[in-house]
A and B are shown apart, each in its own frame.
Chain A
Amino acid sequence: MFKFISTLLVSAHMMGAAYAQEMPVELSLTVDGIAPSEGSLMIAVFDSADAWNGGAPVAGIRASVDGEQVTATLGTLPAGRYGIKMYHDVNANGEMDTNLMGIPSEPFAFSNNARGRFGPASWDDAAFELTAQSANQSIRFD
């Protein structure tokens, strides 16, 4: 009997782990420090270092800016490791404006509020573990 119960518990625990791994999570993002209050946020979600460094995002949305703070739902994704890149398309031309050297002239930010030094933030700095507990991410422009 004891063995049966413990097997059940272990199984349940294992099932729980599997469940947690495979159960998709709705990822939402709260962005603060948005200025000016116009245009839209262009947000992309990546699921690997390779994708981060030039591959395709697994999700991407445009969120209208109507104030200093915007909350957006980025999609329902399997639990796992993700990184977010975002820029504020202030003039709503659908592109990230840059200066002559290719450095963005519109605000941009990454998940974990990570920042690069002479380029964009790295995957290692920006990546986060998406679980039901971390489904609400936040980023602040500064």
Chain B
Amino acid sequence: MLSTNRREALQFLIAAGGMAGLPAIAGAAGEDPVFAAYQRNAEQDPWTLIVRDAPADGFSGDAQLIHGQMPSGLSGTLYRNGPGRFSRQGWRYRHWFDGDGFIQSWQLANGRVSHRGQFTQTDKWVEEEAAGRFLRPGFGSLPPGASGLNGPDDMNVANTSVMLVGDELLALWEGGSAWSLDPETLESRGPRRWGQGLDGVPFSAHPKVEPQTGIVWNFGQDAFNDRLVIWKIGPDGQLLDAGLIPDIPGGMVHDFVITERSLVFLVGSYRYQGRADTFNGSFGFEAGTPMLAVALDKNDWSQRRTWELDPGFLFHFGGAWESADGEIRLDAALSDDARMVSQGAQMIMRGEPEGEFGSHTQHRLVTLGAGGRARSEVLGPDYIEFPQVDPRFVGRRRRQTWHIAWSEADERGATRIERRDLETGTQDGFDHGEHVFVEEPLFLPSERGAEGEGWVIHTALNARDRRTELHVFDALRLSDGPLASWQLPYACPFGFHGCWRQA
């Protein structure tokens, strides 16, 4: 499956049309309106700290215990990744997802919590830091005078997620290579090379690890050509297989789920429309286009089953499982539209709450029937994101999902961490209150094997104190409040996703 395809190489060189006459971008002269709007809003609204530029030389500090005590047995490092640099020379990115990748580590050891933050030294970061201005196009922005690209890694910001494979830390993006980091020092080692013909091939930000084998599954997307790449990697980081999957429509696919037999994708209705001045600008929401579910056989990627669902969009799944007769059940944060990526993420860059253009994702349970019929059930009225599962139950039948939650009135985003039991429908949760904006919760299993036995750990911005916090809960008793909370002497930009390394 690893052979290269000369015809596609030729297509790449041939397919030149449509790139001429790109519109000139205002802002090269005079004040950049997005930069000015953010400056203005940041003076009044500390919530805007979630998208403030991190210092180029990063952060380093100790977090102070402000509540409770370190749970016994909890020792390790929380890694988080997200965009940390949004403006240079008075010009600000238009889209939240454009920002340069900023890795943070929270080391929990001997009752203390120490924190570090560091920009991943991508080629883009290194060259732009030296030049003092943005040189490359972003996911949703075209800085003044932005260059062309020789390949996707030229604009790789490595800003989306982070994972551990063997003794290697990988900063993940989704348009190109994973970026290899030293887990101790966070020092960048360069793009991860998997083998011949795989340099720069998209490696998405939500790999899934089979709990029984440690095998890592991931995908990459080539939305412009209706294709996916499938990656299969051993627990030691050795590539086991990779291959192209044709005829997967170019809806923006960010996450997937695995079962014991299948790799499952939902292709939403935010579809590729034709090349535009930015990557994100090349997509549009097609309100009449059904969401497509595709299940590939793990053992034979040419074997697929498909289903249609109502039009919609998603970033993130909880998990999935498959019954003996082939029925797949999965839970996800699904919305009826894609306005968060098409509009809301631009408002955040201006320092404006997303309001009606924010993410309206609800927790839904989707059943992909063995007979080809699909149905989707809304599990609760509130909005949720970053659904998480017990990693020991990835791909297996399970009950528990942890997530952040908010409602229509919370226009600056989530302040709640919640758990939903998919079987009983019961919920458990904790609201930090109006000043504390929560980030992705991670479930950390304890040594006991029952689903849900362990902790939930998450970071948050305390906007009143203008500081970033870390909170740990008993995963099955969220409403008891945090077991322990720490606060840094500074505020960090929001991250997107994280991973945990047990000491």
The 0/1 profile, CB within 8 Å of A marked 1, for residues 136-162 of chain B is 010000000001111110000000000
Q: In whole angstroms, what is the CA distance A53 to B224 when docked?
A: 18
B21 contacts chain A at the CB level, 8 A cutoff: yes
Chain B residues lying within 8 Å of A140, measured Cβ to Cβ, are: none
A121 contacts chain B at the CB level, 8 A cutoff: yes
B424 contacts chain A at the CB level, 8 A cutoff: no
Q: Across the interface, do B5 and A105 meet the contact criterion of CB distance under 8 Å?
A: no
Partner of A119, one of B16, B198, B200, B244: B16
Q: Across the interface, do B4 and A98 meet the contact criterion of CB distance under 8 Å?
A: yes
The 0/1 profile, CB within 8 Å of A marked 1, for residues 21-40 of chain B is 11000000000000000000
Q: In whole angstroms, what is the CA distance A107 to B149 when docked?
A: 12
Within 8 A of B (CB), among A102-142: 102-105, 107-108, 114-125, 142
B2 contacts chain A at the CB level, 8 A cutoff: yes
Whole-angstrom distance from the CB of A132 to the nearest CB of chain B? 28
Chain B residues lying within 8 Å of A142, measured Cβ to Cβ, are: 150
Q: Across the interface, do A98 and B17 meet the contact criterion of CB distance under 8 Å?
A: no
Chain A CB count within 10 A is highest, among B15, B19, B242, for B19
Q: In whole angstroms, what is the CA distance A119 to B243 when docked?
A: 21
Whole-angstrom distance from the CB of B12 to the nearest CB of chain A? 5
Chain B residues lying within 8 Å of A116, measured Cβ to Cβ, are: 16, 19, 148-149
Nearest opposing residue in chain B for A87, CB measure: B13
Chain B residues lying within 8 Å of A96, measured Cβ to Cβ, are: 6, 9, 13
Dominant secondary structure of chain B at its interface with chain A: loop
Chain B residues lying within 8 Å of A98, measured Cβ to Cβ, are: 4-6, 8-9, 12, 197
Q: Across the interface, do B148 and A100 meet the contact criterion of CB distance under 8 Å?
A: no
Given A98-B6, A100-B2, A100-B229 in contact, is the A52-B199 Cβ separation under 8 Å?
A: no
Nearest opposing residue in chain A for B243, CB measure: A100
Q: In whole angstroms, what is the CA distance A91 to B147 when docked?
A: 28
Chain A residues lying within 8 Å of B148, measured Cβ to Cβ, are: 114-117, 121, 125
Whole-angstrom distance from the CB of A44 to the nearest CB of chain B? 10
A68 contacts chain B at the CB level, 8 A cutoff: no
The 0/1 profile, CB within 8 Å of B marked 1, for residues 58-96 of chain A is 000000000000000000000000000100000000011
Given A119-B16, A123-B16 in contact, is the A101-B229 Cβ separation under 8 Å?
A: yes
Q: Across the interface, do B9 and A122 meet the contact criterion of CB distance under 8 Å?
A: no
B279 contacts chain A at the CB level, 8 A cutoff: yes
Chain B residues lying within 8 Å of A97, measured Cβ to Cβ, are: 4, 9, 197
Q: Across the interface, do A104 and B12 meet the contact criterion of CB distance under 8 Å?
A: yes
Whole-angstrom distance from the CB of B3 to the nearest CB of chain A? 9
Chain B CB count within 10 A is highest, among A52, A98, A117, A121, for A117
Which residues on A are within 8 Å of B, measured CB to CB?
A: 52-54, 85, 95-105, 107-108, 114-125, 142
A-B contact pairs, 10 of them (CB 8 A): A53-B15, A54-B14, A100-B5, A100-B197, A103-B9, A115-B147, A115-B149, A118-B149, A118-B279, A122-B20
Q: A53-B15, A98-B8, A118-B19 are in contact. List 8 more A-B contacts (CB 8 A).
A: A52-B16, A99-B199, A102-B7, A103-B12, A108-B150, A117-B275, A118-B279, A121-B16
Which residues on B are within 8 Å of A, measured CB to CB?
A: 2, 4-9, 11-17, 19-22, 137, 147-152, 197-202, 222, 224, 227, 229, 242-244, 275, 279, 282
